[in-house]
Amino acid sequence: MFIKNHFFLEIFIALRYLRGHSRLTLLNTGTRLSLIFMSLMVFIMVVVLSVFNGFQAEVKRSLWNSGYHITISPS
């Protein structure tokens, strides 16, 4: 019983925070800024991971195509 009431309290607080101070605006300034920064960080993370994966593939390709580093031949 306590968990059910606690869940509805959290939902109520979250909805009040998202709704903002006035009825005309859906999201207040703090909420808008946090959404913008979160989306910006996700975008930056996707770009960095894609660049890193491309760089890693290029390094593997260049190392494997360059040949052997040590050659052992019978004397």
Do residues 20 and 28 touch, judged by C-beta distance below 8 A? Answer: yes
Tens of pLDDT, residue by residue over 16-67, are: 777 766 555 666 777 788 889 999 999 999 889 888 888 877 777 777 776 6
Domain annotation covers residue 70:
no
Domain annotation covers residue 21:
yes
Our count of domains for the chain comes to: 1
Domain annotation covers residue 20:
yes
Return the residue matching tokens 């770009």.
47
Residues 42 and 24: their CA atoms lie apart, in Å, by 29
SS3 20: coil
Domain annotation covers residue 35:
yes
The continuous run of DSSP H or E covering 63 comes out as helix 29-65
Range of the domain at 40: 2-50
Question: What pTM was estimated for this model as a whole?
Answer: 0.46
SS3 28: coil
Domain annotation covers residue 14:
yes
